[in-house]
Structure 1
Amino acid sequence: MQWPGGVRQVPTSICSQPCRPGYRKKIVKGTPCCWHCERCDGYQYQGDTFTCRMCRFDLRPNENHTGCRPIPIVKLEWSSPWALIPVFIAVLGILATLFVVITFIRYNDTPIVKASGRELSYVLLTGIFLCYATTFLMISTPDVGVCSLRRIFLGLGMSISYAALLTKTNRIYRIFEQGKVSVSAPRFISPASQLAITFSLISVQLLGVCIWFGMDPSKALVDYEDQRTADPELARGILKCDISDLSLICLLGYSMLLMVTCTVYAIKTRGVPETFNEAKPIGFTMYTTCIVWLAFIPIFFGTSQSAEKMYIQTTTLTISVSLSASVSLGMLYMPKVYVVLFHPEQNVAKRARSLKAVVTAATMSNKFNPKGSMRPNGEAKTELCDSLESHSESHWPSAN
């Protein structure tokens, strides 16, 4: 039989062609034998001839949408550039901290180390070390143990550092405020009292973490919603700890409170006699630290919708913690280490006077003559520092 046009093949006599894999039949209304082929798109797969179904939350469709397959799970890898930079900074910081600790232990009984307040110095150095060590916890593969350690140490290192600095600045403030009205010494300025105050402040952080553990035990989870993109091929599951952005702010909130309070005391003590060698470095340390964390907040929360959120936020957090530790280490300890190692002739004790007499003289000098506290060759500076710090091991009678 010859068909029009000279075609010998019998023409197709059906209304619709069979649908390809991954397509469903959509029946034409009023014509049961005719249909349109509609693709199962997005996270759908072909359930049967007429139906597209959604893949489970942890699955995505295969290439031809005939079934589902697992969504790849990702985490921050040690080899990633997002991890290499924080780890490099942390390693340098840990080495520098250990160098300072070894130097202080080696020259533990020299005047400069004594004048630094040895007890609180070692506490502060411990906090700085933990700040750097936190980087390794933040990059490690999340599991119950790692997530628990993150809860404990992420805020603990900062709390130890700022609690020690707050105790120091508060002590300086109370000494000179008391000197304005009385020759008697303020209470709780001995090393033992300073350590008790510092550990009391730190215990608040630990208590908060313990309550958090009791209310919500730590665990690792895979977040499939954070990177559930429109294109299923780009979807990823994020392996992370169950610490939300709000929980992180609460975790760091107490450390931030200590930091702000310490900054307030640093501002208050900016007017103390320049002979006191701890006030100004602590002030500069806190101002710089506040700038670091003010820069951290918009970067951290401004990237919450980014596809690289996990990498950017982890890197930003670890670098901010390390930078705040580096500021404290560089401004408070490196000058002392430099003098101890390279200018031992300056690491000598000056003539001793009564602590009460030195504080009173310095306060009165500052009150009546702002330039009166300046003496040639830094004599008063060393005298006041030595009297306030290295002689702090001896209690004033009225301080007991």
Structure 2
Amino acid sequence: MNKIFVIYPGFPHYRVGIIEALINSNHNHYEFLGDKKGYNNVKPYDFKGSADFKDFPAYKIGPFYFNKGLIRYVISHKCDGAILHSPPHYISIIIAALILRIKGKKVYNWTHGILTNHRNLKNKIYFIFYKYFFDGLLLYGNLAKENLINLGFKAERIKVLYNSLNYKEQIKLRGTLTKKERENIRLRLFENPNNDQLVFIGRLTVQKKLGLLIKAIKLLKDENIFVNLLFVGDGDQRKELQSQIDEFKIANQVCFYGASYDETLNYKLISSSECCVAPGEIGLTAMHSLMFGVPVISHNDRNRQMPEFEAILPNVNGSLFEYDDTVDLKEQIKNVLNLNKAKSNLQMQKDCYKIMDEYYNPNYQIKLIDNLFLSENISANFVKKKVSNK
């Protein structure tokens, strides 16, 4: 089996599905190198003392990040290839990538790529970084691939792997919530549990533009359409959102549940809702909701979105509203609630599941990743380089 380094600043807990798929691969042996404390204040994945995880503590100097001991380890240990996650300012990881390429190993950066179609200086710098530092890119979405190709990046050097969560456990959960359980959850959360229920799950940050959602609830109320709103998550915007709720006198329609890392509980809270709404950039929130059969609403500006918004198919499993337009957000909420009523509950669930089961799961990802490092592919790449050098 080929030995493949997987090098991250730290491994977030929500990558559990693909991490465990890599650990259990029958084709390659993956070794994980990163900071056990994680990064970006996200709860880290627990490798539980596995010998396949090596801890390299991270530290920061100015805008640059370093992982102590990583470069020494890469120099002194053998591997057959590497996948890493790194922007240009993660210095130790970039140096490690260069060392491995000098050794003749295939190195891929699993990254967002270029998320906007702007031809600005930042995108040109990232284009050069991606082009010359790596053998190829593994991307979360197709629009990032399109942006890179339009800048001149070769399509054959890009694989779109999408994203995934804890798919194995989510499959076990979905469809198990009974009608009675659903009623009891809504009864505990809201004064008027018969109202249609919207949910947002994720961190309550300014990028999520949750104030737009509060305003939309107020606009709906002005039309005598009463919906409940459940926030699952916490963050620095909570006090500001609460003030807005009090101002609009809709406190009985909004519930702050708080942060939850319990997948069973998250399933029940999401599945007790008619629709998930994320007015700002949407990422894993879209996957979480669609995976449990609940349609999703977010905005339509591709240059201000995360890759996972590509999973939202208007009039099929959700809707996209005009960016920053509260009135259109209100209208799209009405449209999706009507779409729910027009379809059977089973059909809506199937329409949400479909894209998750085809692309946004570890089973899809591991096949592509394993194939990158099959012995015949590595050998073919080596021969190709020798021929081109002649």
Could you say which TM-score interval applies, normalised by the shorter chain?
Answer: under 0.3
Q: If each structure's helix is expressed as a fraction of its own residues, which one has the higher value? A: 1
Q: If each structure's strand is expressed as a fraction of its own residues, which one has the higher value? A: 2
**TM-score normalised according to structure 1 size:** 0.19
Larger Rg: 1
